[in-house]
């Protein structure tokens, strides 16, 4: 692919964005079930609006998990985000729970039985991507958009920015020259704030977070840094706009710089390949790039409901690969069992590690000691280099 000059833009949203509130609540329910039973099945969606939370979906897990426990987990998730506002309050909001048992028709196709291995929970295509634009091997626009949003949230939680509210959006446009990012052409930050301050004060609070996140020398001219460009942003979160689980899938992945299969992650246990196979695809792509077998790598996995092995494993290294892509596909499948069970066991996904993924991206994060973000490990590098020595 010819290198060229262009501007590419990605956005992020904070944990207090209405859709991200819903992702957080749904993943809190996943963690609740997996904390009681590592093999529980969960598919829970959340709707949020003015002082209302509605949870709906299917589960299979311990009967000891009552609606009271589910409600408490949902309220705690909202509290942790920081919502104690008149229009949306963790303690005062009405919580409706419409959760029932998993369909027996789905269970019979997915469960292992006799000589049949556990099948995929649904059909679908999942993509993973990695590139050398950042140390996290993520596309730079989404990486820096997440960085600004997360920096603002950390300042709010620590008390360093008490006048900011939980709801925020960021957007970063980067100039690429010869296919590589070199500077920002514009930055947009919209953040909820206390009614006592004006837009100039919000800008004063926000600017240091932009400066600290972008590489030195990348800052655009002041006129192209837009902070709350519509002005006042006091009413926010689910009180300002309804939220739903799974509406920010491009924010969750690569900011539009790479394909997305269409399935959301949050609210789903790791037997759902929408989640686990997307994690596996990122894991494989990241290891390919970390092993210096390519500068960029996209991996697609395809599954059929009830079938354990992927129907196809597609690899594209965008003419930057140093090895044969067909052989690379075979080697990766030898190194990692890409059945739903194989992925879960290899990455240790049957753990309550998902609420933390619900904001600031599922990818480009540091692996954690308890198994969180295990798909960001680069422990296949040695084996990959040996295979292509």
Catalytic residue of the set 11, 17, 31, 118:
17
**124-132+272-387 shares the fold of 6-14+140-236:** yes
pLDDT digits (tens, 9 = 90+) for 339-353: 999 999 999 999 999
169 in active site: yes
C-alpha to C-alpha distance for 94 and 87, rounded to whole angstroms: 11
Query: Which residues does residue 178 pair with via DSSP β-bridges, in sequence order?
Result: none
268 in active site: yes
pLDDT digits (tens, 9 = 90+) for 263-306: 999 999 999 999 999 999 999 999 999 999 999 999 999 999 88
**Which CATH topology does 6-14+140-236 take?**
GMP Synthetase; Chain A, domain 3 (3.30.300)
Catalytic residue of the set 20, 60, 156, 362:
20
Interior CA angle at 79 toward 142 and 278, to 5°?
35
116 in active site: no
- Alpha helices for 159-305 (secondary structure H): 199-213, 237-240, 249-252, 273-290
Catalytic residue of the set 60, 146, 193, 272:
272
- Predicted pLDDT at 262: 78
- Predicted pLDDT at 240: 94
Task: Give the whole-number percent of the chain exceeding pLDDT 90.
Answer: 91
The residue whose two tokens read 């820096």 is: 144
C-alpha to C-alpha distance for 89 and 358, rounded to whole angstroms: 20
- Residue 19 assigned as binding residue: yes
356 in active site: no
Catalytic residue of the set 75, 247, 275, 296:
247
- Residue 168 assigned as binding residue: yes
- Predicted pLDDT at 110: 63
Residue by residue, DSSP assigns 63-85 as TT--HHHHHHHHHHHHHHHT-B-
Could you count the other beta carbons within 10 Å of the beta carbon of residue 62? Answer: 11
Inter-residue contact 180 to 218 (CB < 8 Å):
no
Catalytic residue of the set 11, 15, 19, 316:
19
302 in active site: no
Inter-residue contact 46 to 267 (CB < 8 Å):
yes
Q: Using 50, 70 and 90 to split pLDDT, how confident is the model at 1?
A: very low
- Residue 180 assigned as binding residue: no
- Residue 169 assigned as binding residue: yes
204 in active site: no
Catalytic residue of the set 11, 15, 122, 274:
274
- Predicted pLDDT at 117: 56
Ranges of each domain in the chain = 6-14+140-236, 124-132+272-387
241 in active site: yes
- Residue 167 assigned as binding residue: yes
247 in active site: yes
Residue 108 scores a pLDDT above 70: no
- Residue 272 assigned as binding residue: yes
The 10 Å CB-count burial string (b at 16+, else e) for 70-80 is: beebbbebbee
- Predicted pLDDT at 111: 57
Contacts of 32 by beta carbon, 8 Å cutoff, 6+ apart = 65, 69, 70, 73, 352
Catalytic residue of the set 45, 133, 239, 316:
45
124-132+272-387 maps to CATH 3.30.300.10? yes
242 in active site: yes
- Residue 264 assigned as binding residue: yes
pLDDT digits (tens, 9 = 90+) for 202-245: 999 999 999 999 999 999 999 999 999 999 999 999 999 999 99
* Mean pLDDT rounded to a whole number for the chain: 94
Catalytic residue of the set 37, 117, 241, 383:
241
- Predicted pLDDT at 23: 98
Dihedral sign of CA atoms 153, 155, 156, 162 in order? negative
- Residue 252 assigned as binding residue: no
19 in active site: yes
């Amino acid at each position: 692919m010819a290198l060229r000059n262009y501007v590419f833009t990605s956005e992020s949203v904070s944990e207090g964005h209405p859709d991200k509130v819903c992702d957080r609540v749904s993943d809190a329910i996943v963690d609740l079930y997996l904390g009681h039973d590592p093999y529980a099945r969960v598919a829970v969606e959340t709707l949020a609006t003015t002082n209302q939370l509605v949870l709906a979906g299917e589960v299979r897990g311990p009967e000891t998990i009552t609606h009271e426990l589910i409600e408490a987990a949902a309220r705690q998730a909202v509290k942790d985000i920081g919502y104690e506002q008149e229009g949306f309050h963790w303690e005062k909001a009405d919580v409706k729970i419409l959760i029932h048992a998993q369909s027996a028709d789905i269970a019979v196709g997915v469960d292992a039985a006799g000589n049949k291995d556990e099948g995929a929970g649904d059909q679908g295509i999942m993509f993973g991507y990695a590139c050398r634009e950042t140390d996290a091997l993520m596309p730079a626009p989404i990486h820096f958009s997440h960085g600004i949003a997360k920096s603002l949230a950390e300042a709010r939680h620590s008390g360093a920015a008490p006048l900011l509210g939980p709801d925020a959006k960021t957007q970063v446009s980067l100039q690429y020259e010869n296919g590589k990012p070199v500077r920002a052409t514009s930055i947009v930050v919209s953040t909820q704030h206390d009614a006592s301050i004006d837009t100039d004060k919000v800008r004063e609070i926000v600017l240091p977070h932009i400066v600290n996140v972008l590489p030195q020398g990348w800052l655009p001219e002041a006129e192209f840094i837009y902070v709350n460009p519509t002005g006042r942003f006091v009413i926010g979160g689910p009180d300002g706009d309804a939220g739903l689980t799974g509406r920010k899938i491009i924010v969750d992945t690569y900011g539009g710089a790479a394909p997305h299969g269409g399935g959301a992650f949050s609210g789903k246990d790791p037997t759902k390949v929408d989640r686990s196979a997307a994690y596996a695809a990122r894991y494989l792509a990241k290891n390919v790039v970390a092993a210096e077998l390519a500068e960029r790598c996209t991996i697609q996995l395809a599954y059929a409901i009830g079938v354990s092995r992927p129907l196809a494993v597609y690899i594209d290294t965008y003419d930057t690969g140093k090895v044969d892509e067909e052989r690379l596909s075979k080697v990766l499948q030898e190194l990692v069992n890409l059945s739903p069970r194989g992925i879960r066991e290899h990455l240790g996904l049957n753990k309550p590690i998902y609420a933390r993924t619900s904001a600031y991206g599922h990818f480009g994060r540091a692996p954690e000691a308890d198994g969180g973000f295990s798909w960001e490990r680069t422990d296949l590098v040695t084996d990959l280099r040996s295979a292509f020595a």
